[in-house]
Amino acid sequence: MANILILGGTGWLGRSVAGLALASGHAVTALARGESGDFPEGATAVVLDRDKAGRDEVGRNKSGGRAVGYSQVAGQDWDLGVELTRFPAHARDALEALSPQARNWVFVSSCSVYADHATPEAREDAPLLDPLGPGEEYSPELYGEAKSGCEQLTLAARGGAALLVRAGLIGGPGDPTGRSTYWPLRMADPGGPVLEPADDGPNYPQHVQLVDVRDLADFVLAAGLGGHTGAVNAVGRLVPLTDALAAAREAAHSQSWLAAHAEPRMVPYTISAMADDGVAPWSGPRSLPLVLPAETEYAGFARRSDARALELGLHRRPLADTFRDIIAACDPWAGRQLASGLSAADEASLVAGLDGRREN
């Protein structure tokens, strides 16, 4: 049994890592505010607001006094520490307070740290974005720079003895972004024609690299406890977008009687038509999830090298299995209330507009 510290543990990925570790018989301590969700049952929960557990508090607690902040777990030794933050100041403070007691350390980063997304099959040695420092203000637009800053702080504090897991697109049941759940739930909903991405623009044929959150959690634990270090692209299988949509239909047919017996009309929808209609690619409201922007600078965005991840033991289930589990875990009608995708009203209006343009 290993003693595992998770800095996070109540969000989607953190809970997945904690839950898998507990199911494997490990002891888990989770530090979090608890605002992203409940602490996993069986974990030792430590409520901590990392915005307030700063460097001054770390210094005070080392001198003695009441156990607050990171000192709530002071004096414990860890077989593995797992850090999920996107804030460099949080990463710095946790490393100062807790890293010396951890034999192994994993920082869950992102492929967003790369400065270039135009080159297919780029490896872990590709150029990175300039790091955001712990004293600089964070904004969502600086997510990649912030993760890059966290990586640098981690390597410096650990003398290079840390594993940087650069996750690609994460999907699976419970996906809060809606990117991986939109298509299987849409295919399971037999209501009305379906707008389907069509070949158009320099980035076609497009691809998807979706790693199941459960497979990513398993990799974080296994590779971390195994003592691996350095950077690794934890990405899904390289699947053409057309095959991913076919997998979503296959999953819907296996999970939904209505979907299997009421095949909807598929309406081709090009990137240029999306732009004309104000439909966004990739994610967010009024979007077609998983579709990449037309610009060639995104040609390698979903085509990163997975060679090192496979060497380190990343297991990836078939995409159709992930989609089936998404449908099984959700009400298919919930597909229209996701954080990404088209509402039923928007899709019907867009289809009507396309049909009208074709008639003219």
Question: How would residue 69 be classed by pLDDT, with cut points 50, 70 and 90?
Answer: confident
Q: What is the predicted pLDDT for the residue at 360?
A: 66
What lies within 8 Å, CB to CB, of 221 at 6+ separation is 4, 17, 20, 21, 24, 26, 80, 82
Provide the whole-model pTM: 0.94
Q: Which residue is listed with tokens 């954080």?
A: 339
Residue 358: pLDDT over 90: no
How many whole angstroms separate alpha carbon 235 and alpha carbon 168?
5
Domains delineated in the chain: 3-167 (3.40.50.720), 182-207+239-303+318-359 (no CATH)
Note the pLDDT of residue 66: 44
In sequence order, the 6+-apart residues with CB closer than 8 A to the CB of 184 are 248, 251, 252, 323, 324, 326, 327
Q: How far is CA 66 from CA 47, 56, 57, 71, in A?
A: 15, 14, 11, 8
Band of residue 259 on the pLDDT scale cut at 50, 70, 90: confident
Percent of the chain with pLDDT over 70: 93
Per-residue pLDDT at 57 exceeds 70:
no
Lowest mean pLDDT, pick from 53-57, 94-98, 131-135 = 53-57
CA 306 – CA 299 distance, rounded (Å): 16
